[in-house]
Structure 1
C-alpha cells in the first residue's frame, strides 16, 4: 500500500495485516557528487516501489523522506518519523543508499535502517534492471521475514 487515498481506505479495512512501514530516504545535494546522490535516491525509489508491489497488503510505503545530505538533523527527523509511525506499525524500515546515514544512525533507529549499496541503473538494459531489483527485493524479504518471525 502506498501513500495515496485509495490505499489508505484499504489499510483502514485491513490494518491488522499491514504491520510494516517502509520509508525511503532521499538525500539531496548539488555538490560535485550531484549525479551520484541522485543515483542513490533513484535506486532506493525503485527498490522501495518494487518491495511495496510484491508485499502489497503487508507493507505500507510512505513518501520519501528527503533531506540535505549535509543535514546533521536528519537522524532527529528519522527518530521523529519513527515515533509517529510506530503508533500504527510494528515494523519500521528506513531504506537508504546513503553511507552517511549508516555512519550517523542513533541507537534509537539503528535496528530500523537498511542500507543498500547503490547500483547505477542509468544505462542498464530494462530486463537486467528488473532482475537486479528483484535480487535486491529478495534479500530485503529475507531480512523482513526474520524480523516478522521474532
Structure 2
C-alpha cells in the first residue's frame, strides 16, 4: 500500500495484516556529485516501489524521506520517524544507498536500516534493469522474512 487516500482506506480496513512500514531515504545535493546522488535516489525509489508491489497487503510504503547529503541530524531524525511509526507498525524499514548512513549505523530499536549498493540504471536495457531490481528485492525479502519470523 502506498501513501494515497484509497490505500489508506484499505489500510484502515485491514490493519491487522499490514505490520511493516517502508521508508525510502533519498539524499539531496547539487554538488559535483549531483548526478550520482540523483542516480542513487532513483534506484532506491524503484526498489521501494517494486517491493511494495510484491508485498502489497503486508507493507505500507511511505513517501521518500529526503535530506541534505551533509546533514548532521539525519540519524536522529530517522530515530524520531521510527519511534512515531512504531506506534502503528511492528516493523519499520528504512531503505538507502547512502554510504554515510550505512557507516553511521541507522539501526536502533526504532527501525532497521537496509543499505543497498546503488546500480547506475541509466544506460541499462529494461530486461537487465528488471533482473537487477529483482535480485535486490530478493535480498530485502530475506531480511524481511527473518525480521517477521523473529516476532
| TM-score, scaled relative to structure 2 | 0.96
Give a deviation string over 1:116-138, Cα, whole Å, max 9, x none: 00010000101111111111101
> Which residue does the alignment assign to 1:148?
148
CA distance in 1, matches of 2:147, 2:106: 19
The count of aligned residue pairs is: 150
Q: CA deviation at 1:107?
A: 5.7
CA distance in 2, matches of 1:77, 1:91: 17
CA distance in 2, matches of 1:107, 1:55: 22
Deviation >2 Å, runs of 4+: 105-111
Instruction: Mark the runs of 5 or more structure 1 residues left unpaired by the alignment.
Output: none
> Which residue does the alignment assign to 2:119?
119
Q: CA deviation at 1:108?
A: 2.7
Q: After alignment, is 105-114 or 62-71 more displaced?
A: 105-114
SS of match in other structure, 1:12: helix
CA distance in 1, matches of 2:2, 2:53: 9
> Which residue does the alignment assign to 1:35?
35
1:78 aligns with 2:78: yes
Q: CA deviation at 1:105?
A: 2.7
Note closer, same or farther for the CA distance 1:9–1:84 as it changes in structure 2 (3 Å cut): same
> Which residue does the alignment assign to 2:105?
105
Is contact 2:106-2:113 (8 Å) kept?
no
| TM-score, scaled relative to structure 1 | 0.96
Is contact 1:78-1:109 (8 Å) kept?
no
CA RMSD of aligned residues (A): 1.3
